[in-house]
Amino acid sequence: MKKIKILQLAVSLAMIVTLASCSATYYPYGTPSGSLIISSAPGVYVYRYPDGRYYYRSPEGYVYWRGHDNRYYLDRSYIGRAHYDNREYNEWNRHYNSYYNHSRNRY
């Protein structure tokens, strides 16, 4: 009889732990997250910086710089506010660094 109660308790505890671990992902930031890379589309108003680079400011206030492939990459100063996975970050980092190094060496 004692074994049955211990077994029931163990199964109940396992179910509670499983259900608690299946909760939705929690982001500690209270603001909406921007994407690391966006494509040009109608309604995306682009501005020109005094040194000739093009940028886009999102409605959330994030700044994106135009890359060589005409996509816009999130400015490095906003990277801590965005939510992304490793694949997205690696693509952003590769293109952002190549553009930044190229534009820095232009002058």
Q: Among residues 102, 21, 42, 45, which one has the least CA distance to residue 69?
A: 102
Q: How deeply is 92 buried, as exposed, middle or buried, from its count of CB atoms within 10 A (0-12, 13-18, 19+)? A: buried
- Separation between Cα atoms, residue 42 and residue 40, nearest integer Å: 7
Long-range pairs for 67-70: beta carbons < 8 A, 24 or more residues apart: 67/95, 67/96, 67/98, 67/99, 68/95, 68/98, 68/99, 68/102, 69/95, 70/39, 70/40
Half-sphere exposure of 22 (CA within 13 A, CB side): 6
Question: Each residue's pLDDT tens digit in the chain (107 positions)?
Answer: 677 777 777 767 666 656 555 544 444 444 456 788 888 888 788 999 999 999 999 888 899 999 888 889 999 898 888 888 888 888 888 877 766 655 554 44
21-43 pLDDT tens trace? 554 444 444 445 678 888 888 87
